[in-house]
Structure 1
Amino acid sequence: MRNATVTVSLALMVAALPALAQDFRFTGTATTGDGTVIYEERHAVDGTCEDGVFRPQQHEVAYLKPDAEESFARKALAYDATVLRPTVDFVQPMFDEKMEITYPKAETLVINWQTPRGDSERFQVAYPPSTVVDSGFDNFVRQNWQSVVAGDPVEFRFLGPTRGEHYGFVMEQVENERVNADHVVQIRPTGVVLRFLVDPIVLGYDDSGALSDYLGLTNIRKNLDENYTAHIRYAVETSPDCELTL
């Protein structure tokens, strides 16, 4: 009887322990089509291991020009309610651009955008649970990892923050000669009109579920009217002590 009591007590103690803090660090190098380096992304993700799977909580990104020590743009994300829709605080001082995405109430998000031309835009957007925001796409891929491995398409909504609207997209397995990865998928619009306006984004992942490649439009400005399209190759520096995928 005493052994049973000790076993139960130990189980209760383990259950009461907080999830251990974990770090996930990786760096991305963005290049043009001819291989010229445009900038570097330095990602620092703090989170916990929950049921053997990493759950991000805070995510900081610093953007640096080649050989520079100071960042020219920064982004901070917080995954409070869900890993698919983080709050976003993005600043690009070179163009006087700022963007914030917050969630003041259930199923409603607010976008405050200071544009490069000095205007201010504010959008209040109602969204369904299938909506993905900003780098939530990375967590979306990992949450649907079995579909990625099996090659099954998955539909979702993706926020276009500068338009104040979300759109239908599909994630599907593809082959791409520029992306050499264990798993290659693309996310593309499902709407007929948007397909002609928005090119697919191609993503590469290794077998652990870590992002290795991003090929497509970035959030870094080339000039006042357009953003860079780049191939970003990622290298993991520190991995959490648990799985990245479900």
Structure 2
Amino acid sequence: MKTGTFLLACTLPLSAGAAEMRFTGQATPLNGNNVLYEERHVVTGKCTEGLFRPASHNVTYVRSNGETFGEKTLSYEQSPLRPTMTFRQPGFNEVMEIRNRDDAKLEIEWQTPEGDTENSTVEVTQELVADAGFDNLVRNHWPEVTSGDRIEFDFLAPTRGKAYGFVLEPTEDDRIDAAHTVLIEPSSTLLSFLVDPILLGYNENGALTNYLGLTNIRKDKDSNYTAHIRYAVETAPDCELTR
């Protein structure tokens, strides 16, 4: 989204029943306090029967000097767990697109930093989760999350063009200061040797407060940042996030 269009959208009144959530995340190294970058999130949706239903999600990635270096747009029109998504990191000439086709299949187009274009298709199952859909997965299963239950799902790895089995379950970790902490890790023992777990923190209302693990932000052409991102809610919808 161009800056002018974004600012104009922010000045227009929300339509009847519409709601908005704004939050900002600061990413730091796992063993340091210097800010690597900042995420600025705007989620729009509706309050339906007292519950927030997200419709679109925009993220701007900003360096400490104020430079915008990445943008992501998501649409939850087809599914809150499997959004249509476009993610751009211009500094690496990289674009990742995931298109949800009637919630029957996900079409992936990846413009790699090397200048190649890779295409793949993944058939949708009810267990499939893509990108920021993990946040809605947690809220959709809030009673299980807060009571200690284990949730199994498949998570899309778009650069590989396939999904892998994962589990989400409550845990405790001194690095996460939150009302509820959950762990996401591969369900396969073999894959667990290759993929480090991710820790998430949530407040009592179901808003994300912490993310600790591998990010989708490039450190260089060959690797991404591993970071601890701490989130602060600036504007919350006038309805519940969970039920």
Q: TM-score, normalised by structure 2?
A: 0.92
Looking at structure 2, the residues matched to 118 and 151 of structure 1 have their Cα atoms a distance apart, in angstroms, of: 45
Contact 1:127 1:166 in 2 (8 A): no
Looking at structure 2, the residues matched to 54 and 105 of structure 1 have their Cα atoms a distance apart, in angstroms, of: 22
1:158 matched to 2:155? The reply is yes
Any runs of at least 4 consecutive aligned residues in structure 1 with deviations exceeding 4 A, and if so which? none
Contact 2:182 2:200 in 1 (8 A): yes
AA in 1 matched with 2:128: T
Contact 1:19 1:50 in 2 (8 A): no
2:194 alignment counterpart: 197
AA in 1 matched with 2:149: D
Looking at structure 1, the residues matched to 106 and 189 of structure 2 have their Cα atoms a distance apart, in angstroms, of: 26
Instruction: Give the length in aligned residue pairs.
Output: 228
How far apart are 1:104 and its partner, in Å?
2.9
The structure with the largest alpha-carbon Rg is 1
2:114 alignment counterpart: 117
How far apart are 1:19 and its partner, in Å?
6.1
Looking at structure 1, the residues matched to 179 and 83 of structure 2 have their Cα atoms a distance apart, in angstroms, of: 27
1:222 matched to 2:219? The reply is yes
User: Unmatched 5+ residue regions in structure 1?
Assistant: 1-17
AA in 1 matched with 2:54: P
AA in 1 matched with 2:226: T
**Distance change >3 Å, CA 106–CA 145, structure 1 → 2:** closer
How far apart are 1:103 and its partner, in Å?
2.1
- Identical residues among aligned pairs (%): 54
Partner deviation per Cα, 1:48-76 (whole Å, 9 max, x = no partner):
001111001010000000131x4110000
User: Unmatched 5+ residue regions in structure 2?
Assistant: 1-14
1:177 matched to 2:162? The reply is no
AA in 1 matched with 2:61: Y
AA in 1 matched with 2:55: Q
Q: TM-score, normalised by structure 1?
A: 0.90
CA RMSD of aligned residues (A): 1.1
1:49 matched to 2:72? The reply is no
AA in 1 matched with 2:27: A
Contact 2:83 2:100 in 1 (8 A): no
